[in-house]
């Protein structure tokens, strides 16, 4: 997991008007929560923040008034039309601390001809050290046929990472497609002639 380093500024004015002014000046309003402290209001450079948010579960090394602090992006709200990041919620983290995050499931390999993969979970919840969050987990296929199932226990996780799912939870299954089914039905007719 890559860490972005961003210089933040303390925010002293609040409300929609203040937020609009910040965004017009190229800064995004944000709030830092966590570890029993009062929420802190800051602004971040919009461009640097957008680059950091390219990674799911981004960890940012914030520089606030000369002090360094690690935060995890919990949520970001965007304008539906312009896709401009309007606000970000951040959570303070400590190296070595475990956090619960959701990561995407990537499919590697392929199924047999006439079948497809039915992905039950496009994302999975993990518990991982805050500074070692995997960007994704992989479902590995090797020309499996219809009826093959991939369970949570079949996914290989990095050291120190655990999945917040039962070991027998279905992640994906290989199913026959309509084309595969028609090929199977056509084969006996061809051999009968």
What Cα–Cα distance (Å) separates residue 135 from each residue in 11, 15, 26, 57, 86? Answer: 31, 34, 28, 8, 24
User: CATH 2.40.240.10 spans which residues of the chain?
Assistant: 3-93
Give the chain's residues under pLDDT 50.
Answer: 190-193
Alpha carbon 26 to chain centroid distance?
26
Helix (H, G, I), strand (E, B) or coil at 16: helix
- Entry pTM: 0.71
The pLDDT score that the predictor gives to residue 117 is 87
The pLDDT score that the predictor gives to residue 115 is 87
Q: Which CATH superfamily is domain 99-187 in?
A: Ribosomal protein L25, C-terminal domain (2.170.120.20)
Quick one: how many helices (H) and strands (E) in the chain? 3, 13
Q: Is 170 left (phi over 0), alpha (psi -120 to 50) or beta?
A: beta
Residue identified by tokens 């590995």 is: 140
User: CATH 2.170.120.20 spans which residues of the chain?
Assistant: 99-187
The pLDDT score that the predictor gives to residue 45 is 92
Q: Which CATH superfamily is domain 3-93 in?
A: Ribosomal Protein L25; Chain P (2.40.240.10)
- State the pairing for strand pair 137-140/98-108: parallel
Q: Is 44 left (phi over 0), alpha (psi -120 to 50) or beta?
A: beta
109 CB-side CA count, 13 A: 13
Query: Torsion over CA of 48, 53, 58 and 64, rounded to 10 degrees?
Result: 30
């Amino acid at each position: 997991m890559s860490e972005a380093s961003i210089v933040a500024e303390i925010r002293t004015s609040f409300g929609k008007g203040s937020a609009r002014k910040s965004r017009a000046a190229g800064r995004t309003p944000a709030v830092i929560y966590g570890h029993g402290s009062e929420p802190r209001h800051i602004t971040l450079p919009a461009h640097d923040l957008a680059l950091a948010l390219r990674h799911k579960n981004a960890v940012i090394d914030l520089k606030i008034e000369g002090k360094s602090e690690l935060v995890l992006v919990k949520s970001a709200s965007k304008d539906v039309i312009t896709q401009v990041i309007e606000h970000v919620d951040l959570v303070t983290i400590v190296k070595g601390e475990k956090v619960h995050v959701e990561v995407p499931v990537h499919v590697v390999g392929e199924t047999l001809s006439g079948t497809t993969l039915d992905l039950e979970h496009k994302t999975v919840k993990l518990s991982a050290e805050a500074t070692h969050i995997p960007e994704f987990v992989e479902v590995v296929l090797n020309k499996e046929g219809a009826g093959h199932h991939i369970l949570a226990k079949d996914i290989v996780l990095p050291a120190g990472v655990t999945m917040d799912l039962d070991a027998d939870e279905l992640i994906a299954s290989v199913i026959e497609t309509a084309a595969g089914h028609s090929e199977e039905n056509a084969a006996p007719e061809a051999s009968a002639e």
